[in-house]
Amino acid sequence: MIISIDGPAGSGKSTIAELLSQKLKFVHFNSGLLYRGIAAHLLKNGEDISSVEHMVVPITLKTKFVDGIQHVIVNDVDYTAHLKDNEVSVAAPVVSKNIHFRRIIDNCQRAFAREHNCVIDGRDIGSYVFPNADVKFYLDCTAEERANRRFKELKGAIPYQQLLDEINARDYIDKTKDIAPLVVPADANVIDSTNLTIEQVLDVLYLKVKDKLKK
């Protein structure tokens, strides 16, 4: 069974997907970490991120779970410790515009989902990667609240306005890219988390999935 959770950057997809997968005893597969892994690899090797869109670099991409933590390995190097670095967060949306990297990432996701019951979150899971997902969600949130959450997470290390500008830039890239832009998937349950607690959002999703499992 595949449960997809799409939505813009910082809307809480990964947090909710992790909690939902725990309640259902499914695997939480974070698709965004694959883009971040490739971005981290390119940055480490001194590649010009501005030219990534048309780059064709032979790579091997693997993901595995160690003690419940999803690891991303690119060319046999484990980049898990760097996946949340801010420069990686900024570079990852650019990687998503590269059709060569997308094919590698999509193949990795689909191969994994064939073997597991998954909760998968990302920008295009229900709309592009798994259009036939059993249950689809779209988790929305205002850019201002997403920047505020990130500001608190980083404990003020990066100015709020910089984070807001970066989120708006990422939204623009995600929504206007030629390959699988960010959209609300057909048949998706749309939830706005701006004024909801994590527990409230989780309850809504869990009840929707339980209803599906009863049918």
Domain ranges of the chain: 2-32+84-210
| pLDDT per residue as tens digits for the range 81-95 | 999 998 998 899 889
Q: What gap in Å lies between CA 156 and CA 76, rounded to an integer?
A: 34
* pLDDT of 108 above 80: yes
CA separation (Å) from 85 to 6, 45, 154? Answer: 22, 16, 10
Given the DSSP bridges, would you call strands 27-30 and 2-6 parallel, antiparallel or unpaired?
unpaired
**What pTM did the predictor assign?**
0.84
| pLDDT per residue as tens digits for the range 123-179 | 899 999 999 999 999 999 999 999 999 999 999 999 999 999 999 998 998 899 888
Question: What's residue 56's pLDDT?
Answer: 87
Q: What gap in Å lies between CA 131 and CA 133, rounded to an integer?
A: 6
* pLDDT of 51 above 80: yes
Superfamily of domain 2-32+84-210: P-loop containing nucleotide triphosphate hydrolases (3.40.50.300)
Residue 213: pLDDT band by 50, 70, 90 thresholds? confident
Residue 44: pLDDT band by 50, 70, 90 thresholds? very high
* Residue showing tokens 């057909």: 186
Dihedral sign of CA atoms 164, 10, 33, 189 in order: negative
Whether 36 and 88 have beta carbons less than 8 Å apart is answered as yes
Q: Work out the mean pLDDT of the chain and round it to a whole number.
A: 93
* pLDDT of 183 above 90: yes
In this prediction, residues 185-201 reach a mean pLDDT of 96
Question: What's residue 203's pLDDT?
Answer: 97
* pLDDT of 101 above 90: yes
* pLDDT of 215 above 80: no
Whether 192 and 31 have beta carbons less than 8 Å apart is answered as no
The fraction of the chain above a pLDDT of 90, given in percent, is 79
Question: What's residue 77's pLDDT?
Answer: 97
Given the DSSP bridges, would you call strands 135-140 and 2-6 parallel, antiparallel or unpaired?
parallel
